Structure 1
Amino acid sequence: MTDIVQRPASPATHVPGTATERPRTAGGSSRRVSWDVLRCVFVLLVMLYHSTFIGPLVYHDILPKNYTFPHQVGASLLLVLSAYFVAATVRRGGARRGATARWWWGKLARLLPAFFVATVNAWLFLRYLAPDGWYLPGKRDLLANLVMLWHWDPSWGFVDGSYWTIPLQLMAFCLAAVMWRSPLGRGLGLRAVLWLAVLMPAAQWYYRATLPAGNAYGYVVDGLGIFRWHLFVAGVAVWMYATGRLRLPHFLALVVAAVAEHALQSSILDPTTGWATDWTAVALIAVGIAAMTLAAVGPDWGARLPRPVVRAVTWLAGISYGVFLTHQTVGYVVMRRAQDLGVGPTLQTGLMIVTGVICGWLLTTLVERPVHHRLMAWWDTGPARYGRIGVSDSRS
């Protein structure tokens, strides 16, 4: 995740890890640096987790790091953040004809082109630049990753492990667009959907956790990503509370249930070693949701930060989706090749982070922003005109 800020023409375009908008306050009257700060922190947590823990774990020839951050937190919090802005922006067009369709198209136009380019880039790095003995993806693996089939058939490996959030985002965008135009997008219907999204995965967790590998039921459950539905619930709950659509007791009940569900879904049930849960990660998820709530209902944090810090945070948040897409596989190869040159473990981590920032900036500048602009222009001159919707009327 993650949804993922930058200063684009169209504001309603957040995806996990990205900051393709300078987010608005709950009332929609101004934009806040608070969200930029959170997005930067969450993306940094993703990079620290991958560079210090997952890299040496997956590729044993990468030196163990002096400092390790072994908690999968950043991507999950980016999904919560993305869900908040999905809820905040899907309604922005109101009842105007075509507004929801344009919102949905804008999400896809931001998410998919950069993902396709980053996937091919990661495949090329593994195929032609990785050391001997590393995962060597074939053309079939590239195709499977481009169409996001990894959860539906484990025989297709990730070319980049970060991409597990992308199909979840796509499903969230589609579901939000449909729900907003139905009774399930508001009132009692929306509340029922939120509780169902928390309780149904919990009810089937033990059955899924005890199934043998290769079971068809597991493929469906994992393919639909129900192991992370609770994160979307938490993000929507924060937005509902910040806008007065949810009272405090109900909000707290939903958030506590979502955090408890995260503890359950991220636990491992092993027949020999028993139950294992990363309680530090669960606590950090709770802290992250609390920080988002403060950002949504409190004053803007940017007022207390020096202007150079605000500019740096805003710039990094603006390229964060590109960083999210490019830092992991490319960073692993860079770390391993730097190790061949005698670079130590701590500097390797720094190189991976710097590489992610540079590659993320290039992907954002050369692909994400210009392609999004062209695709939205095509929508306004194509489907919008065909549907007799003026460009000004179709903006969400």
Structure 2
Amino acid sequence: MAGVPEMTATRKTQASGRSKRKISWDVVRTSCVLLVMCYHSTFLSTYLHPEMTPRNVVFPYQVGASLLLVISAYFACVTIGRGTALRYWWGRMARLFPPFVGAVVVIFAVMRWVAVEAWFYPSLNDLWWNLLMLWNWKPADYWFIDGSHWTVPLQLMGFTAAALLFRTRWGHGRRIILVLWAAVLVPIAQWPVRVADKSELYRTIVDGIGVHRWHLFVAGVAIWLWSTRRIGLLHFAAMLAACMLGQALHNYTETPEGLIADWGSTVAVCIGMVVVALTAFGPDWNRIFPEWLAGRIRWFAGISYGVFLVHQTIGYIVMKKLDEIGVDPLLQTAAMLVTGTALGWTLTHAVERPTHKFLMRAYDGLATRRRTRSSEV
């Protein structure tokens, strides 16, 4: 989730009670999370567990999570200048990490409590490995408790890099343009090595720091630069085209028959990048959606990170149990969507929001005490 946690903060409201946030962003984010859920429930479920009844409707494109990273990078640019870089970084960590921990623990407990025969049964070691995100470095050795969590360490690293860059000259002006071009061109240049080299150390480092996903963050930053008129249209188009090339190369898969491209997912992500750019640059969509519908979209967008974190593995278990008693595959898919939404709402209200509020208050209190001591010296 990836989800976009910096957009799920408690909303400030106007006197009319309506949110100041553009409904267009909530629509895009909600759509991305729903695409992730549809991909997992209709395609990846039976791909990973072929013993299950095939789905009646299949959405086979891996697009939603990639676009959530693009949106996440865009809003990192929007919010990073509001206060100190350290407070920005702490806020992102406080938003991302506690619900991730809560989700891992809950999913681990459910996998052991409602164990499915011949499916992965996690040990306590698996729990610790997942909390430490070791699968990001060596996925063959450390199995995912929930495959959706691959986005979390990338966001943690991305927000950390953004905070560090913002404190230096390389995070501003023309220098950040050079950084962005390097971040998208270096992975493209090393792609032949990545698909040919069998060095375990090389793969661990390159995959661990997510080199093959950097173009998604670059796309988000480029969209912000263009939407705020810091770069021109031609420059933006060239940078976005390079990011699309990076996405195309990423979607090649090694098989015994050679490299196979997933052009469906590539085209979908590229179209999504354009949609995100137009959303950032264009007017709000508040005239398109009636208030009753906009309210429901905002509600789902507000719990989307929690939904993203908990829907997949537990959803597969729900679908498997329903499949065993002969429930129609379409109803199984609906059950996964409903279960993921309910659990996501619970995680948001029980963990994400209260821990973020507590940690930010703790940070602000400590910062105030430090300023007071400094002024007294």
How far apart, in 1, do the equivalents of 2:321 and 2:293 lie?
32
The answer to whether structure 1 residue 82 and structure 2 residue 66 are counterparts is no
Equivalent of 2:112 in 102, 106, 127: 127
| Residue deviations 1:14-73 (CA, integer Å, cap 9, x gap) | 1xxx633669xxxxx952000000001000000011001111111222221111111110
The answer to whether structure 1 residue 181 and structure 2 residue 162 are counterparts is no
Higher share of residues assigned helix? 2
**CA gap 1:389/1:235 in 2 versus in 1, 3 angstroms:** farther
The unaligned stretches of length 5 or more in structure 2 are 13-18
Question: Residue 298 of structure 1: CA displacement?
Answer: 1.1
Q: Is the 8 A contact 1:327 1:357 kept in 2?
A: yes
SS of corresponding position for 1:31 = coil
Count of residues paired in the alignment: 368
Q: Is the 8 A contact 1:210 1:269 kept in 2?
A: no
How far apart, in 2, do the equivalents of 1:369 and 1:352 lie?
24
Which has the larger displacement, 309-318 or 284-293? 284-293
SS of corresponding position for 1:275 = strand
Residue in 2 aligned with 1:2? Answer: 2
SS of corresponding position for 2:259 = strand
Question: Residue 382 of structure 1: CA displacement?
Answer: 1.7
Q: Where does 1:1-396 land on structure 2 (aligned, <5 Å)?
A: 1-4=1-4, 14=6, 19-20=8-9, 31-93=21-83, 99-153=84-138, 154-212=140-198, 215-270=200-255, 272-388=256-372
The code of the aligned residue for 1:219 comes to T
- TM-score of the aligned structures, taking structure 1 as reference length: 0.89
Q: Is the 8 A contact 2:30 2:304 kept in 1?
A: yes
**CA gap 1:388/1:188 in 2 versus in 1, 3 angstroms:** farther
The code of the aligned residue for 2:163 comes to A
Q: Is the 8 A contact 1:2 1:81 kept in 2?
A: no
How far apart, in 2, do the equivalents of 1:20 and 1:62 lie?
38
SS of corresponding position for 2:145 = coil
- TM-score of the aligned structures, taking structure 2 as reference length: 0.94
SS of corresponding position for 1:301 = coil
**CA gap 1:179/1:389 in 2 versus in 1, 3 angstroms:** farther
Which has the larger displacement, 295-304 or 362-371? 295-304
| Residue deviations 1:348-367 (CA, integer Å, cap 9, x gap) | 11100001100000000111
**CA gap 1:304/1:22 in 2 versus in 1, 3 angstroms:** farther
**Cα RMSD, aligned residues only:** 1.9
Q: Is the 8 A contact 1:325 1:360 kept in 2?
A: yes
Q: Is the 8 A contact 1:19 1:39 kept in 2?
A: no
How far apart, in 2, do the equivalents of 1:220 and 1:227 lie?
11
SS of corresponding position for 1:276 = strand
Question: Residue 389 of structure 1: CA displacement?
Answer: 9.5
Aligned-residue identity in percent: 45
Question: Residue 204 of structure 1: CA displacement?
Answer: 1.2
The unaligned stretches of length 5 or more in structure 1 are 5-12, 24-28, 94-98, 391-396
